[in-house]
Amino acid sequence: MKLNKNFLKFSDDYFFYKISCKIKDFIAENKEKKVISLGIGDTTMPLCEAVISAMNNSICEMSKKETYRGYGPEQGYKFLRLKIKNYYKEKGINLNEDEIFIGDGAGRDIGDIQEIFSEDNIVLIVDPTYPAYIDSSILSGKKIVFLNGRKENFFLPMPNNDIKSDIIYLCSPNNPTGSVYTYENLEKWVKYAKNQGSIILFDAAYEAFINSENLPRSIFEIKDAKECAIEIGSFSKTAGFTGVRCGYTVIADDLIFEGCQVNKLWMRRQTTKSNGVSYITQRGAEAIFSKEGQKQIKKNIFYYKENTKLISNSLNEKGIWNCGSENSPYVWAKCPNDMDSWDFFNLLLTNLAIVAIPGSGFGSNGDFYIRFSGFNSKENTLEAVDRIKNLSLI
Ligand code: PLP
């Protein structure tokens, strides 16, 4: 028996473990202090009423012989796929429900989708960005090429025809920087992908946080994108489904490589490896799209975004450059006084008992940045913001 050697390419120094150790040590030495985490990438507001009610109803259905459900369709129930189809239609995108695949969250599909691509593909990844793109590419034995996201290019690097790539991960709004590609940007990406014969894996997990009507929420708003892109969506941050687990992947019939419709391959893969997402979960997800559901989730999104605004304003007052709060639940800040991201992390923790995520965890271009999140409660965010006001930077 031989192990998958790709696992050995990971460093032992697991980033989030290192953070949790530092917090644990700090708490042990400062028992009287209240640590406030502005680092969390997890939601804290409860599921909205419409979702709870739909889930409760479906539990009742499961309790009766006549309405009990066993295994569901591997691709997801049609009732949910139809709702997602309509959601896209509102953005002017026509899909057919068979192009939509329900899964248990974007995280899973982001990695698993690599199974349908050959190991000798080159993966292009924006640095900084969500680390799962890197880890899943490493695990599947693929070569990675990075594209530099910097303050100068608003953390939105653009394609360069001299760089060869086969698979491109794009995240917009980006985690951690909150940057959003414009229509014009994405048109260039689609053109590049088509020229290269590559595929874009577009992570739209934060699309619901986009504030402006002038920014694209889906790669499929771009002409010809169906021929070169897959979109991955999630209800985690949109509707507090981080613990419930539900998301979706859209692969249009027009996505054809080597004469094969990619969605047929994905369907084949799903029928082998997935027995679907629970009925109760999918009924809950369906309720997100009801009139009430939309109103209620938007209220929660607004709540988180108010928090990011508070954080951003407090950093501005301290003269700390930051971005991201407009269209994402994150604030991406430049560490002051040329500190690197771990130095600033340590300063915030030891002086203010605030936790933020060192930017280096999202790629080397994050070395001198830090990520705050708006997912804590308003009360805690206000308290943290008060502490930031007293931060001494001399
Ligand atoms: N994509 C991005 C950019 C994320 O930040 C996250 C989670 O933080 C995910 C995907 C994973 O989402 P899910 O909870 O749907 O697996």
Q: Could you read off the pLDDT of 326-357 as tens digits, one per residue? A: 999 999 999 999 999 999 999 999 999 999 99
Cα–Cα dist 312/289, whole Å:
30
Q: Is the CB of 111 under 6 A from ligand 1?
A: no
Domain end call among 291, 316, 342: 291
Task: Give me the percent of the chain exceeding a pLDDT of 70.
Answer: 100
pLDDT-derived band at 11 (thresholds 50, 70, 90) equals: confident
Q: Are residues 179 and 321 in the same domain?
A: no
Going from the Cα of 380 to the center of ligand 1, the distance in angstroms, rounded, reads 23
Last residue of a domain, one of 258, 291, 324: 291
Phi, psi at 242, each rounded to 5°: -55, -35
**Tens of pLDDT, residues 211-239:** 999 999 999 999 999 999 999 999 999 99
> 3 pLDDT exceeds 80?
yes
The secondary structure of 301-354, three-state, reads HHHHHHHHHHHHHHHHHCCCCEECCCCCCEEEEECHHHCCHHHHHHHHHHHHCE
- Spacing, Cα 65 to ligand 1 middle (Å): 36
Report the CATH number that the domain containing residue 320 is assigned in CATH.
3.90.1150.10
- Would you say 297 and 48 are in contact if contact means Cβ atoms under 8 Å apart? yes
- State the pLDDT at residue 392: 85
Q: Which has more confidence, 393 or 215?
A: 215
pLDDT digits (tens, 9 = 90+) for 33-55: 999 999 988 999 999 999 999 99
Band the pLDDT of 276: cuts 50, 70, 90. Answer: very high
Residue type at 237? Answer: K
Q: 86 and 161: one domain? A: yes
Residues 212 and 328 in one domain: no
Q: Tell me, yes or no, whether 306 and 273 share the same domain.
A: no
pLDDT digits (tens, 9 = 90+) for 154-172: 999 999 999 999 999 999 9
Ligand 1 neighbour 128 (Cβ under 6 A): no
Contact 247, 109 (CB under 8 A): yes
The answer on 277 and 306 residing in a single domain is no
Taking the CA of residue 152 as centre, how many other CA atoms within 13 Å lie in the half-sphere pointing to its CB? 2
Q: How many CB atoms lie within 10 A of CB 26?
A: 16
Question: What pLDDT does 13 receive?
Answer: 74
Kindly tell me if the per-residue pLDDT of 19 is higher than 80.
yes
- In the chain, the percentage of residues whose pLDDT exceeds 90 is 96
Q: Is residue 171 lining ligand 1, measured as CB closer than 6 Å?
A: yes
Q: Per-residue pLDDT for 78 more than 90?
A: yes
Q: What is the domain range of residue 33?
A: 5-47+293-389
pLDDT category of residue 394 using cuts at 50, 70 and 90: low
Count of structural domains within the chain: 2
- Does residue 394 belong to any structural domain of this protein? no
**Contact assessment for residue 176 and residue 371, using Cβ atoms and an 8 Å cutoff:** yes
255 and 381 fall within a common domain: no
Whether residue 354 has its Cβ less than 6 Å from ligand 1: no
329 CB under 6 A from ligand 1?
A: no
Among residues 264, 291, 318, the one where a domain terminates is 291
Alpha-carbon span 125 to 136, nearest angstrom = 12
Environment class of residue 168 by beta-carbon count within 10 Å: exposed (0-12), middle (13-18) or buried (19+)? buried
Question: Does residue 301 belong to any structural domain of this protein?
Answer: yes
Same domain, 31 and 77: no
Q: Are 128 and 92 members of one domain?
A: yes
105 ligand 1 Cβ < 6 A: yes
How far is ligand 1, taken at its centre, from the CA of residue 378, in Å? 22
Q: Which pLDDT score is estimated for 105? A: 96
Give the nearest ligand 1 atom to 247 CA: 15
